[in-house]
Amino acid sequence: MSRDEGGLRRALLALCVTELTSWGILYYSFPVALIEVTRDTGWSTATAMTAYSAGLVVSALAGAPVGRLLDRRGPRPVMTAGSALGTAALLAVAAAPGLPWFTAAWMLAGLAQSALLYPPAFAALTRWYGPDRVRPLTTLSLVGGLASTVYAPLTALLAAHLGWRTTYLVLAALLCAITLPLHLLFLTPAWPGASASPREAPGPSIREVASSRAFLLLAAGMALGGFGLYAATSNLVPLLVDRGTGTAAAATALGLCGAGQVLGRIGYPALTGRSSPRARTVAVLAAAAAGIALLAVVPGPPALLIAAAVFAGAVRGVYTLVQATAVSDRWGVRRFATLNGLATAPTALAVALAPAAGAFLAGLLGGYTAALTVLALVALAGAFLAAGTRPAPPSLGPEVDG
């Protein structure tokens, strides 16, 4: 059966817009609105961030069941429902009369995140495009990488003029108006479902793959690498200020770290043509360890610290695409959403805990140099585990891992 190329292009374009919006509103808006929230409510920063982090934990835990549902039903009903759920969650955030309600609202938002952010979108493109998946995945991640650039300033502007509650009413309206119709109307290419197509070998069961040594090492290695990388980059501003960099320059460095992600993603298609799945996973996690180590040991000047931040950002950008393709590269695209949900759940949980863990380590160990040294070793351990992620044949049609 020939592919509906026009339908695929429309679906990709729709996902680019909805990922930009979903990441910007459900993920990046809260750190920007945080000051207004704490000023208005009297909650401490740690208390408000704990509520937000609770949502990230829910998103991580919901990844596997959402993946199973997506394999069975396809992305259109799952992501459309996520849009409606995310809208309701943001309305609840805006109306929260106290901390318990506020926390519950962000937990609901976390459930929406599991149906809206990269994993379901990556699963949809992987299943639709099959062996041609790298380019659309790269395109999607490049556009999604601009979410903070677009929505952080918008959130700041709205919060300064309207207050945080009205800001979240506006953001809820934007999320609904943009993502719900695009998901409903354009995620329409035929969904192959969980059954194999005539070109796919039956292969082992989900249970066999998920309990295999290669799969477990992949999940653990990516979680360790992601934990180290996100803990380091999310604490860039206090790290740079601690090294004598001004706050404005530190904020600029954080922005350039984000720009580095885009640069890293642009180069990913070339990397896939020159490396096996296992080799590039090991290489990216080792590069993550090196980037974190640079941030740990470089004392200055600011320009050199900023260069190290850009390098760490570039690695983080490539890491996102390695995570998006790691399962399909080894076990094929059939039942990808379920397997990917299982593989990425530990990483999502590690990333949710990483910002607070990085700050905690710095306090516990007496500074960011020691904390980042530990985080570099954690990422390096992930690289060592990734060396064992070549699946035993037969598999579901992965790339050759020489």
Q: Is the pTM of this model over 0.85?
A: no
Instruction: Show the tokens assigned to 259.
Output: 């720009």
DSSP-based three-state secondary structure for 345: helix
Helix, strand, coil percentages for the chain (3-state, nearest 5): 80, 0, 20
What is the H or E stretch that residue 162 is in?
Answer: helix 147-162
Residue ranges in the chain modelled with pLDDT below 70: 1-3, 193-203, 247, 251, 392-402
At what angle are helices 45-73 and 118-129 packed, to 10 degrees? 20
**CATH class of domain segment(s) 5-186:** mainly alpha
Instruction: Show the tokens assigned to 49.
Output: 């961030």
Instruction: Show the tokens assigned to 202.
Output: 């039956």
CA angle, corner 368, sides to 364 and 371, nearest 5? 60
Q: Provide the residue type at 30 as one letter.
A: F
CB-count exposure of residue 153 (10 Å: 0-12, 13-18, 19+): exposed
Cβ within 8 Å of residue 37, ≥6 positions away: 30, 43, 48, 164
At 136 the pLDDT is 94
Tell me the torsion sign for CA atoms 120, 125, 130, 131: negative
**What are the tens digits of pLDDT across the range 85-129?**
999 999 999 999 999 999 999 999 999 999 999 999 999 999 999
Q: Give yes or no for a contact between 379 and 288, defined as CB atoms under 8 angstroms apart.
A: yes
Residues 176 and 172: their CA atoms lie apart, in Å, by 6
Instruction: Report CA dihedral (127, 131, 136, 138) to the nearest 10 degrees.
Output: 110
| CATH 1.10.240.10 is right for the domain spanning 206-386 | no
Measure the N-to-C terminal CA separation of the chain; round to a whole number of Å.
31
Instruction: Show the tokens assigned to 47.
Output: 């208390």
**What are the tens digits of pLDDT across the range 345-370?**
999 889 888 887 888 888 889 888 99
Within 13 Å and on the Cβ side, how many CA atoms surround 292?
A: 32
Residues 111 and 78: their CA atoms lie apart, in Å, by 11
Residues 96 and 104: their CA atoms lie apart, in Å, by 9
Residues 197 and 1: their CA atoms lie apart, in Å, by 10
At 249 the pLDDT is 72
At 198 the pLDDT is 43
Would the CATH topology of 5-186 be identical to that of 206-386?
A: yes
Domain borders along the chain are 5-186, 206-386
Q: What's the 3-state SS for 20-72?
A: HHHHHHHHCHHHHHHHHHHHHHCCCHHHHHHHHHHHHHHHHHHHHHHHHHHHH
Q: Give yes or no for a contact between 314 and 264, defined as CB atoms under 8 angstroms apart.
A: yes
At 2 the pLDDT is 56
